[in-house]
Amino acid sequence: MRQIVHNKTDWVDVKWTTGVLTHNIQKDGYSCGIYVMQMAKETVEAFPMIPSEIIIPSNKHLLSELRKEMAVTILESSVFNPKQHCSLCGKESPVGSVGLNTWIQCSNCERWYHSVCLGMTKKEACIIISPKHN
Give 19-54 pLDDT, tens digit per residue.
888 899 998 999 999 999 999 999 989 888 888 899
Average per-residue pLDDT for the chain: 80
Asked if pLDDT for residue 101 goes beyond 50, the answer is yes
pLDDT at 66: 94
CATH 3.30.40.10 boundaries in the chain: 83-134
What's 83-134's CATH class? alpha beta
pTM recorded for the entire structure: 0.50
User: pLDDT tens digits for 104-116?
Assistant: 888 888 888 888 8
CA distance 87 to 96: 17
